[in-house]
Amino acid sequence: MKSLERSLLVCLVLVAPSISALAHSAVEPVPRGDQGWKDRQDLLNKRAAEAGEKAQVVFIGDSITQGWEGEGKEVWAKYYAHRNAVNLGIGGDRTQHVLWRFDNGNLNGLKPKAAVVMIGTNNSNGEDNTVEQIADGVTAIVKKLRAKLPQTKVLLLAIFPRSESPCPQRGKILQVNQILQKLADDQSVFWIDFGYKFVGSDGTIPRELMPDYLHLSRKGYEIWAESIEEKLAGVLGDTAVKAAQSGAGASAATLTGEWSWTMDTPNGPVTGAMNSVGQRLPINAMTPRILAHSSLGEPLRLGVFASLR
């Protein structure tokens, strides 16, 4: 009897380390206790039920995903409203909370063609989870999502960079992304990494993209939408939404029509036809203002003398 007890004790000692290595907070589904989270969870369940099979795409994540309803709402309306997209983001969530939500209503009734997943930044705080543990948590999310929605393609996004300047936490996130990239098979799971677009040449993150160096501005959400649109449209089998042209106003290359010019002179305005956009105009020191425009009424800037009406 003592020999049997001794053998069992040895087995427990040998097995215990492997159990603790597998079980950690990032992979154990748990809810959060605050009322705000519970209310948001109930709202997401309601959204999922109402959208049902009409939803073509769902977005899964934390406050950065929830932010599509704030700073990103106009971009969302342009890119995702016509696709009956469902936002399943909850501020402050970690991988373990998303795992719990999957088992408690967030996916009920949904059969989207695509799921956009970006989660894990909150797990990277301090010493809460290691690089490996965060990667385990995101991996568990992808696996559970594939099990519950086998026909849904997963667009797995690299966790976005954070903090104004390079720091250990940003490095930790980069290491997690290196592991997560291996989950892509380019058939059911697609990896998309555009985090570099949020970082300047000096390594800092500009406030115009992340006002608090974590959450996105409208411009930040435009970058997100534009960066995944080609792949998302391909998965959905629809027409890609065209990105807005950068910069204010239109350029001469994008304008059409018959061109003419108007020049203010001491004797009053003079108007003439232009054979081409590059035609030289009669200007001198007495010419304070020159305006070229097409028959469609579009203005063209002409050097330092140009002005817009």
Output the CA torsion sign for 155, 46, 37, 28: negative
Distance CA 76, CA 231 (A): 17
Residue 244's pLDDT is 80
Q: Are 226 and 265 within one domain?
A: no
Q: Answer yes or no: is 5 within a domain.
A: no
Per-residue pLDDT of 29-67, as tens digits, reads 999 999 999 999 999 999 999 999 999 999 999 999 999
Of 190, 206, 236, the residue at which a domain comes to its end is 236
Q: Answer yes or no: is 201 within a domain.
A: yes
Which range marks the domain in which residue 51 is found?
20-236
CB-based contact 210:199 (threshold 8 Å): no
Chain centre distance of CA 260 = 43
Catalytic residue set: 63, 212, 215
Q: Are 262 and 294 within one domain?
A: yes
Q: Are 171 and 121 within one domain?
A: yes
Of 210, 236, 262, the residue at which a domain comes to its end is 236
CB-based contact 28:97 (threshold 8 Å): no
Q: Are 75 and 168 within one domain?
A: yes
CB-based contact 37:118 (threshold 8 Å): no
Q: Are 188 and 40 within one domain?
A: yes
Q: Are 53 and 196 within one domain?
A: yes
Residue 268's pLDDT is 65
Q: How many domains does the chain have?
A: 2
Q: Answer yes or no: is 2 within a domain.
A: no
Q: Answer yes or no: is 243 within a domain.
A: no
Q: Answer yes or no: is 10 within a domain.
A: no
Per-residue pLDDT of 6-28, as tens digits, reads 544 444 444 444 444 468 999 99
If we measure between CA atoms, which residue out of 57, 44, 158 comes closest to residue 98? 44
Q: Are 162 and 43 within one domain?
A: yes
Q: Indicate the length of the chain as a whole number.
A: 309
**Parallel, antiparallel or unpaired: strands 299-300 and 290-294:** antiparallel
Q: Are 190 and 300 within one domain?
A: no
Q: Is the pLDDT of residue 303 over 60?
A: no
Q: Answer yes or no: is 241 within a domain.
A: no
Q: Are 258 and 189 within one domain?
A: no
Q: Answer yes or no: is 256 within a domain.
A: yes
- If you average pLDDT over every residue of the chain, what do you get? 83
Distance CA 90, CA 43 (A): 10
If we measure between CA atoms, which residue out of 248, 264, 251, 265 comes closest to residue 294? 251
* CATH number, domain with residue 102: 3.40.50.1110
Question: What is the rounded end-to-end Cα distance, in angstroms, of the chain?
Answer: 98
Q: Where are the alpha helices (DSSP H) in 67-129?
A: 73-79, 95-102
Q: Answer yes or no: is 175 within a domain.
A: yes
Which residues contact residue 243 at a Cβ distance below 8 angstroms, ignoring those fewer than 6 apart?
Answer: 222, 225, 226, 229
Q: Are 126 and 73 within one domain?
A: yes
Q: Comparing 290 with 139, which gets the higher pLDDT?
A: 139
Q: Is the pLDDT of residue 204 over 70?
A: yes
Q: Are 228 and 263 within one domain?
A: no
Task: Please tell me the least confidently modeled range out of 149-158, 215-224, 258-267.
Answer: 258-267
Q: Is the pLDDT of residue 301 over 90?
A: no
Residue 267's pLDDT is 67
Per-residue pLDDT of 246-264, as tens digits, reads 543 333 333 344 445 455 5
What mean pLDDT comes out for the span 190-211?
A: 98
The total of other beta-carbon atoms located within 10 Å of residue 254's CB is 9
Share of the chain above pLDDT 70, in %: 72
Q: Are 220 and 284 within one domain?
A: no
Distance CA 216, CA 210 (A): 5
